Structure 1
């Protein structure tokens, strides 16, 4: 039923696993290393065709400075902050209340409502591209930061509700009953009992949703036009020229765009691991 621990594998299988693991790691890291090297490579070396060799001249400061100056990268960055922070906070707030209701209360249609949240996560986003764009035009919010906040909030809430409902379902229901016997109302139970217990899950979910929204390119491309409301993912694409592309600048912009997600993950790594393993064991 459960996977066999590695130390109990046959010697040949363990040896093959230990040999294949570094190979898989190198294959996975190779594109990232290529982007990092290209971001510090000079334009002259790229024109000569030196794509994979070690850079002869490091142009890190020049490339990153030019990536920030030649395009409104700081404007794109601020747009991403304005989009991501409300979308993450709003989706987690709504999902925590919805997950609490679905996990604690027994009412007619509970299973059907939960199934709706689950089914919504399997709808391909490409199918929704045209109706969502038409809806934003009818509402008059096309090419605004509010449109991206609204639609990220809508799409992420379903996944967050599925995630948090399962975590709250694992909590001992006796805690809720004891709080109710002591006279606590439902908001007190929610804020004082449930939320502190699922704090690791909230932290893990915040990292996941932050990464999803910050790195989104699809909806940013569908719901924005120009630089007014474009996030940083669209800004990196704007670094490409019409006839030629300075790949060192595009790589530098890509590294700058990825830094917030990486920094947030390492800052909250302990909470992320705790959230993913929350409820995995009983003791």
Structure 2
């Protein structure tokens, strides 16, 4: 017998994987121009803010003798402390809070009710009603100031709401005009957002026996939180920064909001621009804090509704 020869082992060589080179994206000239444009725009937008910060940290004597376009010899926060005391910022901050918070809450509540009515119920004039509220934003405030001023001098208010017994020279009068002017914009935004919510949700709630008020408060309003956060941020900034209505509808200077406190830093014959710059920056602090706190909700409210439906 002959022994069988062992089978030869066949070794297969495994080729090493070749490195995969990712294809580089070609940078288009249009994209380069876009980034250059955005960078220049951001820089131009920030120049006034940076200039105000630079001016507020310099003493007035130095800028008066050497000019504003010079390198500072001293940096100080004295302008901020002086502006805080001279303009009575705590008092005027409280006045702005008393105006802004009720105005924003009432605006969002009324706008949400109108938007719910025109989007969830079909009737003959729902589109015309929505257009009527939206068209109110097209009227400039200066065109209404004379009849509104005469109206405020005749509309009564209870003594616990106004010292004068009228809408004029009352915080409620300024709140009312803010609500009236801002309801149109908020109704437009909320109605577009509510249209993205399926009608099957409210129809199912109606079948379960939920009345209209329960549908509004427990179903629709919770689903509109991103839109409410975005609108609350915008409305708070707009109403807080208002100076026109407070100047016209307030007779007593101590009742005016924080925007009028900056005017108190300017004298009749002399104005310290360094002091005014410090006061303006302190005025902007609450709006910046509000934006940074609600930044995530603000961006979500602006973009979430566009991806539905």
Same fold (TM over 0.5): yes
Between 198-207 and 33-42, the greater mean CA deviation after superposition: 33-42
Instruction: Report deviation, 1:10.
Output: 7.6
Instruction: Report deviation, 1:125.
Output: 1.4
Contact conserved, 1:103 with 1:165, CA < 8 A, in 2? Answer: yes
Distance (whole Å) between structure 1 residues aligned to residue 106 and residue 116 of structure 2: 15
Contact conserved, 2:196 with 2:308, CA < 8 A, in 1? Answer: no
Q: Is 1:249 matched with 2:265?
A: no
The alpha-carbon distance between structure 1 residues 221 and 33, as it changes in their structure 2 partners (threshold 3 A), is same
What does residue 161 of structure 2 align with? none
Pairing of 1:1-283 with structure 2 (within 5 A): 11-60=28-77, 62-139=78-155, 140-282=166-308
1:167-186 superposed Cα distances (whole Å, 9 cap, x missing partner): 11111111110110111111
Q: Mind listing any 5+ residue stretches in structure 1 that lack a counterpart?
A: 1-7
What does residue 7 of structure 2 align with? none
Instruction: Count matched residues.
Output: 276
Q: Mind listing any 5+ residue stretches in structure 2 that lack a counterpart?
A: 1-24, 156-165
SS in 1 for 2:307: coil
The alpha-carbon distance between structure 1 residues 86 and 54, as it changes in their structure 2 partners (threshold 3 A), is farther
Instruction: State which structure, 1 or 2, has the greater radius of gyration over its C-alpha atoms.
Output: 2
Distance (whole Å) between structure 1 residues aligned to residue 233 and residue 46 of structure 2: 21
Instruction: Report deviation, 1:9.
Output: 9.7
TM-score by length of 1: 0.92
Contact conserved, 2:229 with 2:298, CA < 8 A, in 1? Answer: yes
Distance (whole Å) between structure 2 residues aligned to residue 54 and residue 235 of structure 1: 30
Report which of the two has the higher share of helix.
1
Contact conserved, 1:34 with 1:52, CA < 8 A, in 2? Answer: no
Runs of 4+ with deviation above 3 angstroms: none
Distance (whole Å) between structure 1 residues aligned to residue 263 and residue 66 of structure 2: 22
Distance (whole Å) between structure 1 residues aligned to residue 143 and residue 276 of structure 2: 30
Between 168-177 and 156-165, the greater mean CA deviation after superposition: 156-165
1:35-67 superposed Cα distances (whole Å, 9 cap, x missing partner): 11111111112212432334321121x111110
SS in 2 for 1:142: coil
Contact conserved, 2:135 with 2:184, CA < 8 A, in 1? Answer: no
The alpha-carbon distance between structure 1 residues 197 and 239, as it changes in their structure 2 partners (threshold 3 A), is same
Distance (whole Å) between structure 1 residues aligned to residue 40 and residue 65 of structure 2: 30
Distance (whole Å) between structure 2 residues aligned to residue 224 and residue 9 of structure 1: 60
The alpha-carbon distance between structure 1 residues 107 and 282, as it changes in their structure 2 partners (threshold 3 A), is closer
What RMSD, in angstroms, separates the aligned Cα atoms of the two structures?
1.8
